[in-house]
Amino acid sequence: MAFGLMRRVGFKFWRYMEPRAIFEWQSFYALRPFLKRLPKGDGHPVIVFPGFGGSDRSTKPLRGLLSSLGYEAHGWGLGSNLFFDDELEAEMVALVREVAEKSDQKVSLLGWSLGGLYAREVAKACPELVRGVITMGSPISGRNRHSNAHALFQAINGEPTEQDKARQRHLHEAPPVPTTSIYSRTDGIVAWEGSVQKHGDEIENIEVPASHLGLGVNPLVMVVLADRLVQPDGEWQAFDRRGLKKLVFKKPGKRHFSPNHAH
């Protein structure tokens, strides 16, 4: 109980420290010349889904970097990420189908916060079109207590229906494609436990030192994204943490996993 209390206090502390994201944004632009030297992609399409309250404007810097690395970077083109319903889900799936058909290639899906949750669910709907999914600080556990933004989301979208509740019980299940969850123990919006996936084939969790609001521009996150996206289709390998990487990019211990994410 004492440990749980300390964890909740720590989560609250990091929530008040989220303004530090401004330094991550500054670092992104200051290190842009270095970031452009990250491994070049093969030109396959990548769709980036914004976080709750965000739009394509919030992911523009990230998409710009992806384009400079040789990817065909797309926003989601659906305005601000505030409301969710069956129509929105259908539009996201249609977007993936359209991009995949035009490029004649599978699509990588990249989602920030709530956008990562959407990316996973879209991948479940059309896995044959998806090369892989990468989430950043996404509340994938299905547990409301893991997100400080849940109350606001519910206030805007209303009480969940029985269908919503049924879906929520399966949110922790990864899509049947390579899936990477990037998370931070100092995330002040989504508790890091809520972003940890259960062990499985082609499933991994990578810890980075970052704020929630800075995940989409944090230079260390960009290093991970470039490393994950550059892998040839069908040749996925877990992130290599050997050498100095293991000091920066950590992974949760086995004790942090359970089928229902009951930490």
Is residue 61 within 8 A of residue 219, CB to CB? The reply is no
Provide the residue type at 144 as one letter: N
Alpha-carbon radius of gyration of the chain:
17
What pLDDT is stored for residue 80 in this prediction?
92
What pLDDT is stored for residue 263 in this prediction?
37
What pLDDT is stored for residue 253 in this prediction?
66
Topology (CATH) of 2-231:
Rossmann fold (3.40.50)
* Contact residues for 232 (Cβ-Cβ < 8 A; gap 6+): 42
Is residue 116 within 8 A of residue 172, CB to CB? The reply is no
What pLDDT is stored for residue 12 in this prediction?
60
Provide the whole-model pTM: 0.86
* Contact residues for 157 (Cβ-Cβ < 8 A; gap 6+): 83, 84
Q: Spell out the per-residue pLDDT of the chain, length 263, in tens.
A: 444 544 554 556 556 568 788 999 999 999 999 999 999 999 999 999 999 889 999 999 999 999 999 999 999 999 999 888 889 999 999 999 999 999 999 999 999 999 999 999 999 999 999 999 999 999 988 665 556 555 545 655 566 666 766 677 778 899 999 999 999 998 888 988 889 998 889 999 999 999 999 999 999 999 999 999 999 999 999 999 888 888 888 877 654 544 444 33
Every domain of the chain and the residues it spans: 2-231
Q: Measuring CA to CA, which residue among 237, 259, 222 is closest to residue 33?
A: 222
What pLDDT is stored for residue 262 in this prediction?
39
What pLDDT is stored for residue 2 in this prediction?
46
What pLDDT is stored for residue 148 in this prediction?
56
DSSP letter assigned to residue 111: E
Residue 148 φ then ψ, to 5°? -75, -10
N-term to C-term CA, the chain: 12
Full strand arrangement of the beta sheet holding 45-49: 72-74, 45-49, 107-112, 130-136, 179-183, 203-207
